[in-house]
Amino acid sequence: MSLADEMCVLSGECIGIAPIGHHEPVGAPSWNLGSEFLGSPANEAEFIHKIMGKLAEYKQVDVTRVFGVGMSNGAGLAHDLAVRTNIFLGIGAYTTALIHGRELPGENRNVSIFQVMGMKDEVVPYKGGPGLIGHNFMSAEKSVALWGKHNGCSSKPNFPTASNVDRRIEYTGCSDSTRVLHFGIAEGGHDIPSELDGQDTLKANWKFFKYL
């Protein structure tokens, strides 16, 4: 079950759509974010736009309230689509930060960010730098700082405490009622914690989305 499907099953308040990259250069279906796709010309943004066009044909689907959620390569796609398109109101990005070379353009609409990173991740380093499959990642905290700047948030982030979370960073005072929230898990690797702030992680993520 995909993260989107699981989130919607848990909440009972959304529709989960789970597209899958068709090529497997690293042993699993992968999105075209650069090095792991070995020069594929696949246009992921165009593909997702076509999906949204099809979904818009259904009256029960509100295509003005769309959120992206993913882990690892899927989180990279969520970040990338948030950078390159105006599809999402918010994204949930697990175990992946922004990639150098795919920085934020100033003209895109503001997007709320819910980012979760393990501080002992050996695939996508929390402090940034080369990842396991060749991407050069920004640090987790620089990634959310850039989103905070893009969204016109207050220049200084807040560091509220939270149960079972070792580092929580929140940018407030953002334009268009957006939010930027980061969770750093000190003992976390390339995985998703079962809980954040005393509640199921995906339920916490949906609550973040729901009130945008």
128/1: higher pLDDT: 128
3-state SS class at 107: coil
Q: Determine, yes or no, domain membership for 203.
A: yes
- Does residue 32 form part of some domain? no
SS3 content of the chain, % helix, strand, coil (to 5): 30, 20, 55
Q: What is the mean pLDDT of the chain?
A: 88
Give a yes or no: residue 121 inside a domain: yes
Residue 17 DSSP label: -
Residues 83-91: what's their mean pLDDT? 93
The answer to whether residue 53 is domain-embedded is no
Residue 10 lies in a domain: yes
State residue 35's pLDDT score: 54
Residues contacting 144, CB < 8 A, separation 6+: 113, 115, 157, 169, 171, 180, 181, 182
Query: What's the total number of domains in the chain?
Result: 1
Pair of tokens at residue 76: 């990279």
Q: Is residue 199 part of a domain?
A: yes
* Cβ neighbour number for residue 97 with a 10 Å cutoff: 29
Q: pTM here?
A: 0.92
Q: How confident is the model at residue 198 (pLDDT cuts 50, 70, 90)?
A: confident
For residue 92, the SS3 value is: strand
Bigger pLDDT: 109 vs 63: 63
Label residue 42 by pLDDT band (50, 70, 90).
confident
Q: What is the pLDDT of residue 157?
A: 92
